[in-house]
Amino acid sequence: MTVQILDHTECELGEGPTYDPAQDKAWWFDIVGKRLFEHEFDANRTSVHEMPVMASMLGVVDKTTQLVATENGLYLRDTAANRLTLHHPLEADNPATRSNDGRVHPSGAVWIGTMGKNAEPGAGAIYWFFKGELRKLYPEISIPNSICFSPDAATAYFTDSRTGRLMTVAVDPGDGYPVGEPSVLYDYGIQKSGLDGAVVDADGAIWIACWGAARLIALSPKGERLHTVPLPASQVTCPAFIGRNLARLLITSAWQNLSDAERDADEHAGKTFVVDMPVRGKAEPRVIL
């Protein structure tokens, strides 16, 4: 699996990549730096859009509109003007938290996590948002991550990175809402590295970025370890399938909390990578408002 650097900009906390095949564009965030990156593959050009708030996750509504999760709400973004309009508050009354990992379910619903800005234990939650309705699914989450869905839309995966356990739960394929209780699919254990963002390929394998371990791991839907992919930055954060045939992964990373000496030793920390894959993904669904 060949690894290349897509963008050399060093993000303090690169996160939330997504891709729209119809436009052949990818987006990702530097959460702490309040920046949104946009890469046009046909022109091989990356643009940077300044954000007025910390933002972490983006879902495409249509060619001109996106839903963006931020530290105080879900906003609609006018892509031509880079203008945000509040669509629904999200913990707007709690300045100590911000949004983190999230993904669009095949139904068009959104799962989005929140966390303390200093990763305070139990300060966040995971929410479900669909057609204007926001519900809290799982409270007292410290670092919500690995939110993704099976190809048949009947299963959701997520983790609280603080626990080291990847959870699985049955959901309604029609709206992505849980219909059962979560159970542990895979126990990564409590160690210096941890499970971060994840995405599911077309065959159902779960590809997870391992923060602090400079690698992706792939798990089967039964929780069996399938693959390990070494990466050139220690703190990799989240993958997303990209390309017209969805046979590549875009992977974000971070230099957050590294000392000067650690950054010198980790020369690609915060950069954004592309990996040619032996599998194919599924296109990210569009958000249904």
- At 183-241, the pLDDT tens digits run 999 999 888 889 999 999 999 999 999 999 999 999 999 999 999 999 999 999 999 99
- Split into its structural domains, the chain has a count of 1
pLDDT in tens, 126-173: 999 999 999 999 999 999 999 999 999 999 999 999 999 999 999 999
C-beta of residue 207 within 8 angstroms of C-beta of residue 216: yes
**Domain that includes residue 84, residue range:** 3-276
**How many CB atoms sit inside 10 A of residue 143's CB?**
23
284 in a structural domain: no
Domain presence at residue 251: yes
Please report whether residue 289 resides in a domain: no
For residue 1, the model assigns a pLDDT of 79
- Please report which helix (H) or strand (E) contains residue 181, including its range: none
- Contact of 69 with 85, CB cutoff 8 Å: no
Please choose, from the candidates 177, 185, 181, 237, the residue with its C-alpha nearest in 3D space to the C-alpha of residue 206: 185
In a domain, 32, yes or no: yes
The first and second tokens of residue 182, run together, are: 């979560």
The CB density around residue 17, as the number of other CB atoms within 10 Å, is 28
Q: Active-site positions?
A: 196
Dihedral over alpha carbons 71, 77, 80, 81 (to 10 degrees): -60
pLDDT averaged over the chain? 97
Looking up residue 59, the CATH number of its domain turns out to be 2.120.10.30
Q: What are the pLDDT digits (tens) for 62-111?
A: 999 999 999 999 999 999 999 999 999 999 999 999 999 999 999 999 99
In a domain, 21, yes or no: yes
Nearest one of 117, 211, 205 to 161, comparing CA atoms:
211
Q: Is the pLDDT of residue 252 over 90?
A: yes
Instruction: Give the predicted TM-score (pTM) of the model.
Output: 0.97
User: Is residue 287 in some structural domain?
Assistant: no
DSSP state of 43: T
Task: Give me the pLDDT at residue 190, please.
Answer: 84
Would residue 89 count as lying in a domain? Answer: yes
